[in-house]
């Protein structure tokens, strides 16, 4: 059944949603510019529900730009423009009449540098997104949600006795897991992660990878990573981006991660995944 369902209120406020649970995100011929500088050229990619999709490729090939386009952050950059479509379970997130805040609520983002509100308590960090999205939940509901989201982010046991301490007092890896918990609190259908472990030590990195693995049934995950071992460990699908000699970024190859790492179809993919550039 491919019929598009009308948006519905979920009873928690915060505007209409287009369904619940992990959704398939699909980019259709997405091109992007900063001023006259074209940085992505007709990128099409399906990021299936209940799977982890890794975006790999050298610096500057447009991975972060692509990720921002997927939740409408690109349009906040003054010089930025784009063409193409982004579909969340086949509903265009850029449709006129659909608000930017709806896209943000359904498609969360975690960045390279952990960015909790440092002076805000751990508890308030988790529920911060609720207020931003005008989602109404009573005190008890909030307590439950904080425990649930911190548990999913693998942080509950470490912080349950100090929920009133500031987020900034946590270690880098804990701060990143707090950011994941904060993203989960609004029950996004997709979670975008832009090099979430690049600023973290190996132990924290493994914890985040375990969390990503456990979240698979909860939320569709798209992760940018420079770490090929990480891509191989956490992702089901992989897309290899490349921008050759100042040309805009394109996807050279995409498909199942195992196949891409073991029998890449394009020589450039093979060179990249084997560390040859
Ligand atoms: P990646 O994440 O793969 O390293 P980016 O998406 O950050 O690549 O960058 C792609 C291209 O877009 C680069 O040439 C970069 O210089 C340019 N770019 C990124 N952000 C901006 C911006 N805010 N303004 C102008 N150019 C930008
Ligand atoms: Mg980047």
For residue 2, the model assigns a pLDDT of 47
For residue 64, the model assigns a pLDDT of 97
C-alpha span between 70 and 92 (Å, rounded): 11
Q: Whose CA is nearest to atom 26 of ligand 1?
A: 34
Q: Whose CA is nearest to atom 6 of ligand 1?
A: 62
Determine the 3-state secondary structure of 244 from DSSP: helix
Q: Whose CA is nearest to atom 2 of ligand 1?
A: 64
Output the ligand 1 site: residues, CB below 6 A.
34, 39, 59-65, 77, 79
1: pLDDT strictly greater than 90: no
DSSP states along 2-13: -PPPPPB--SSB
| Whole-number percent of the chain with pLDDT over 90 | 78
C-alpha span between 34 and 47 (Å, rounded): 25
| Tokens read off for 180 | 């994941």
| pLDDT, tens only, 36-75 | 999 999 999 999 999 999 999 999 999 999 999 999 999 8
Q: Which residues pair with 37 in a beta bridge?
A: 34
C-alpha span between 47 and 36 (Å, rounded): 29
Please choose, from the candidates 25, 92, 69, the residue with its C-alpha nearest in 3D space to the C-alpha of residue 249: 69
Q: Residues 128-140: what's their mean pLDDT?
A: 87
Backbone angles phi, psi at 123, to 5 degrees: -60, -50
214: pLDDT strictly greater than 70: yes
């Amino acid at each position: 059944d491919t019929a598009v369902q009308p948006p519905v209120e979920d009873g928690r406020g915060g505007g209409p949603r287009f369904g619940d649970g992990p959704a398939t995100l699909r980019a259709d011929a997405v091109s992007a510019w900063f001023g006259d500088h074209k940085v992505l050229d007709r990128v099409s990619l399906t990021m299936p529900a209940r799977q982890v999709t890794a975006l790999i490729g050298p610096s500057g090939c447009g991975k972060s730009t692509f990720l921002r386009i997927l939740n409408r952050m690109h349009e906040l950059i003054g010089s930025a423009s784009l063409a193409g479509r982004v579909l969340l379970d086949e509903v265009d997130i850029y449709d006129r009449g659909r608000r930017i805040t709806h896209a943000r609520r359904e498609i969360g983002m975690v960045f390279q540098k952990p960015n909790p509100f440092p002076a805000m308590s751990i508890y308030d960090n988790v529920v911060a997104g609720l207020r931003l999205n005008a989602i109404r939940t009573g005190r008890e509901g909030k307590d439950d949600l904080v425990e649930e989201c911190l548990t999913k982010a693998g942080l509950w046991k470490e912080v349950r006795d100090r929920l009133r301490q500031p987020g900034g007092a946590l270690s880098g890896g804990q701060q990143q897991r707090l950011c994941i918990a904060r993203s989960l609190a609004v029950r996004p259908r997709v979670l975008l992660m832009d090099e979430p472990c690049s600023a973290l030590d190996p132990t924290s990195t493994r914890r985040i990878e375990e969390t990503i693995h456990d979240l698979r049934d909860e939320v569709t995950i798209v992760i940018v990573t420079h770490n090929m071992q990480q891509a191989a460990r956490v992702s089901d699908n992989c897309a290899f981006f490349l921008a050759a000699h100042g040309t805009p970024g394109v996807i050279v190859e995409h498909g199942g991660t195992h196949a891409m790492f073991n029998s890449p179809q394009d020589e450039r993919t093979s060179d990249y995944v084997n560390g040859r550039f």
